[in-house]
């Protein structure tokens, strides 16, 4: 069954992978994006008659409201993503990551579906074992995570909403981001051959950008079974520390060196192990391993020799 889908921020890191897949599945897709990074990541789908694009700001009701009315499903990807960017622009973080979503929720009908990416960084440092399920207490540390937690609470009052608490995403995309942890460490390994770690024992969960697109497709195809729920989404075999991540990269780049900083600490104090059993129980399985993603990045970085692809 095909749907009319509105994807805000659809020309970004996630959307540039997701939108072509939705079009290939037969959906009509409208992208609303400010194109603040001057990206041309959706050029290759402009020939599709079911693709529509609007340049505009999701905070402007007169821009968003008419697009919402036409949509069966809304995927709000537009956001200032990550702690450094939100700290740099806290006003933008609040108005884009929270206020614009609150406005959207008030404008849509009860029959429209909303599939939204939130973040498992909301868990902060987890429980005494650093283990987190969807029922674990939320302890957001960064402004980015705090705003995502607040908007998730509002979102889940909508009966046809799904929240995906995404793990740290990695992998190549037409609108590339080098500042994500796996992407960053692999870039440093390729270009510099070394990285200095702060609190290398801190663990996180990871997820390939293509598997992000796949979980949204899974939700669309199984909407009645998954709606009204919150799901962690990540690689269940990739709850790894920064040290372990570097060891995985080193297997592919043998002369890569990583050392622990003798002083100082990571300003990002996230440290947790995440369970993805709930989403896996709906039939969803990831397709891209951490090692395959590192291999992909190594190839991709032969084509990228600067950092203009990062958000910060």
pLDDT in tens, 145-181: 888 899 999 999 999 999 999 999 999 999 999 999 9
Say what the pLDDT of residue 143 is. 85
Give the domain range for residue 34.
Answer: 4-171+206-234+276-282
**Domain CATH for 70:** 3.40.50.720
Mean pLDDT across 201-220: 97
Are 17 and 173 spatial neighbours (Cβ–Cβ below 8 Å)? yes
Say what the pLDDT of residue 127 is. 62
Q: What are 72-107's pLDDT values in tens digits?
A: 999 999 988 887 888 899 898 889 989 999 999 999
- DSSP labels, 178-201: S-SHHHHHHHHHHHTSEEEESSTT
Mean pLDDT across 49-72: 97
Say what the pLDDT of residue 142 is. 83
Q: Which residues contact 293 (CB under 8 A, 6 or more apart)?
A: 170, 171, 182, 206, 208
What is the rounded CA–CA span in Å between residue 251 and residue 218? 33
What is the rounded CA–CA span in Å between residue 307 and residue 312? 9
CA dihedral 294, 123, 273, 167 (to 10 degrees): -30
The total domain count for the chain is 1
What is the rounded CA–CA span in Å between residue 177 and residue 12? 9
What is the rounded CA–CA span in Å between residue 224 and residue 2? 15
What is the rounded CA–CA span in Å between residue 50 and residue 28? 5
What is the rounded CA–CA span in Å between residue 170 and residue 180? 7
Is residue 289 one of the residues assigned to a domain?
no
What is the rounded CA–CA span in Å between residue 121 and residue 48? 36
The tokens for 95 are 């108005």
Is residue 239 one of the residues assigned to a domain?
no
Say what the pLDDT of residue 113 is. 97
Is residue 98 one of the residues assigned to a domain?
yes
Is residue 197 one of the residues assigned to a domain?
no
Say what the pLDDT of residue 310 is. 59
């Amino acid at each position: 069954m095909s749907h009319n889908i509105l994807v805000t921020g659809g020309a970004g890191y996630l959307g540039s992978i997701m939108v072509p897949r939705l079009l290939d599945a037969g959906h009509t897709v409208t992208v609303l994006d400010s194109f603040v990074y001057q990206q041309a990541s959706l050029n290759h789908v402009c020939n599709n008659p079911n693709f529509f694009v609007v340049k505009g700001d999701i905070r402007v009701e007169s821009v968003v409201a008419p697009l919402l009315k036409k949509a069966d499903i809304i995927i709000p990807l537009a956001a200032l993503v990550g702690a450094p960017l939100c700290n740099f622009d806290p006003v933008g973080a609040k108005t884009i990551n929270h206020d614009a979503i609150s406005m959207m929720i008030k404008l849509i009908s009860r029959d429209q579906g909303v599939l939204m990416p939130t973040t498992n960084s909301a868990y902060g440092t987890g429980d005494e074992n650093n283990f987190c399920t969807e029922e674990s207490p939320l302890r957001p540390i960064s402004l980015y995570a705090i705003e995502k937690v607040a908007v998730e609470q509002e979102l889940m009052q909508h009966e046809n909403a799904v929240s995906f608490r995404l793990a740290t995403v990695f992998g190549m995309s037409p609108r590339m981001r080098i500042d994500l942890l796996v992407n960053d460490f692999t870039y440093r390994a390729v270009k510099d051959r070394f990285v200095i770690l702060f609190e290398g024992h801190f663990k996180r969960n990871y997820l390939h950008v293509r598997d992000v697109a796949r979980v949204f497709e899974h939700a669309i195809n199984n909407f009645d079974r998954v709606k009204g729920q919150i799901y962690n989404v990540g690689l269940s075999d990739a709850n790894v520390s920064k040290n372990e991540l570097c060891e995985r990269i080193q297997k592919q780049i043998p002369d890569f060196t990583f050392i622990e900083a003798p002083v100082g600490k990571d300003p990002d104090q996230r440290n947790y192990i995440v369970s993805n059993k709930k989403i896996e129980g709906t039939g969803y399985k990831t397709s891209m391993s951490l090692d395959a993603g590192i291999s992909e990045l190594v190839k991709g970085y032969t084509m990228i020799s600067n950092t203009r692809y990062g958000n910060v």
